[in-house]
Every structure is written in C-alpha cells, then in structure tokens.
A and B are shown apart, each in its own frame.
Chain A
Amino acid sequence: NAGVTQTPKFRILKIGQSMTLQCTQDMNHNYMYWYRQDPGMGLKLIYYSVGAGITDKGEVPNGYNVSRSTTEDFPLRLELAAPSQTSVYFCASSFQGPGGANVLTFGAGSRLTVL
C-alpha cells in the first residue's frame, strides 16, 4: 500500500496564480484532512471531509477550496495565491470507527512558495 500520496512535492507560484494540490489515499479511509504547517506554529486544519461528497471548513479555510468526489481523492485548490499561503501542506486520512478516536496517516507534504 502506498498510504497517502501528495503531489507536487514542491511548487513555486506567483502572486495571483492558482493551483491544485493533489492527495490520494489507498487505505479506503472515510475521513480526509488538509493541514498547513508553518515554522513554530504546529499544524492548522484547513478543510476536512468525512466521506465522498461531504466537506467542511477547519480552522484556516480562507483562500482555499476542496472537493471530495471519490473516497480516494481530496484535492486542495488555491485560488489567487498570496504570500501568506507560503507553507508546507499535509494531507492526511483516517478511518473513523464507532466510538473511538482515530489515528491519522499523513502524506509526505507539499512545500509551496508564493512570490
């Protein structure tokens, strides 16, 4: 199993450009997440999905959009890139069983620089 796969690993954008970060998982997990990680700030949740067709905002959703048309894929769209979106982005997935907290499996990350 590949786990959680993110592409691209690195990308430089100009201010105002748009792009999509791709995320695919092959573990049949129902839950998927996008986090961003800035130095000294920990991981902040951008968007999450509890299943195909269902998405919701996290802590820092402004400037981003997501969709979840299949169980496997959860792309993150950046519209009109701004320097404040320079960060490392992590996609994660988990299986939520009844009653318990679940373990997130993370991808390797996508480092985005907006100049």
Chain B
Amino acid sequence: AQSVTQLDSHVSVSEGTPVLLRCNYSSSYSPSLFWYVQHPNKGLQLLLKYTSAATLVKGINGFEAEFKKSETSFHLTKPSAHMSDAAEYFCVVSANTGGFKTIFGAGTRLFVKA
C-alpha cells in the first residue's frame, strides 16, 4: 500500500526567509517521489524528482528536497522565499505495484508575505 501525507495545509513565510514544506510517505516498494507546483488557474509543473539516485535532489527555481528513508520523509526546502513562490505544492509518490500507481498528497498552500 502507498500513501503520502503533507503535514501542513498552509505555510506562511516572509519574503527572503527559508521555506520548508513537509511530506511523509509510505510505500511497500521502492518509490519514486516528486514535488509539483500549481500556480493559480494553472496546471501543475514538476519541481523535482527522486528516483533512488542522490538523496538530495535539486529542482527548478532554487528548490531542493532530501529523501530520508529512515524517516520516510521527502521535505521540500528553499533558502530564500520569493513572492513568485506563492502557490500550491503537491508531494507525489509513485511505485510499481504490479502496474504503476501514483498518489498525490493533499497539497500545501504557500503564502509569501512582503
């Protein structure tokens, strides 16, 4: 069975401060993990992807995520928030369970204050 939990439905930061969006997953298989971003009235865009190579994954727009198997976590971080980072972020787990199954987290809305 697979599941993904985004621990915060909303996160608010000030511009220029660090961003941390938390994601825990559960999978009986070796999963691939993703973070997607959705800006208002837009489709989703891939930020980064982990597929059992380096545990620290660098993505677009200065975001990165660290895969921690012992903690079953895949938290998304960025050293310094920008106003344009305000969006909804989705953590996604995918594994071959006899056919790939992809599960999206419920999303975390990031607010960035000036």
Binding partners A and B: no
Binding site for B on A (CB under 8 A): none
Binding site for A on B (CB under 8 A): none
